Amino acid sequence: MTTKLKLSAIPDDKPVKLSVELPAEVHRDLVAYADVMVRDSGAAAPEPARLIAPMLQRFMATDRAFARLRKSSRTPHQT
């Protein structure tokens, strides 16, 4: 059975380094998510920390209120 995860491949992009503390439960969930990705794709497991940025990106991309507020706060010359 193939599971449809919200994340697929992790893009290789130049990162901005942040230092965050996560609850242990969130870290365990990231590890479990990476394990499911491996079972689904057969690719190598990503480091759990590499999942955080795409998850945040996906979350913000699908938050309609955020998109609406972001769009309304842009000036005409911003993209």
Task: Express each pLDDT in 44-56 by its tens digit.
Answer: 888 999 899 899 9
User: Model's pTM, two decimal places?
Assistant: 0.67
What pLDDT does 23 receive?
97
Q: Which of 28, 29, 24, 25 is nearest to 7 (CA)?
A: 29
Check residue 51 and give its pLDDT. 92
Question: What are 2-34's pLDDT values in tens digits?
Answer: 667 777 777 777 777 889 999 999 999 999 999
Determine the pLDDT at residue 2. 63
Task: Mention every residue, 6+ apart, whose C-beta is less than 8 A from residue 51.
Answer: 7, 10, 30, 33, 34
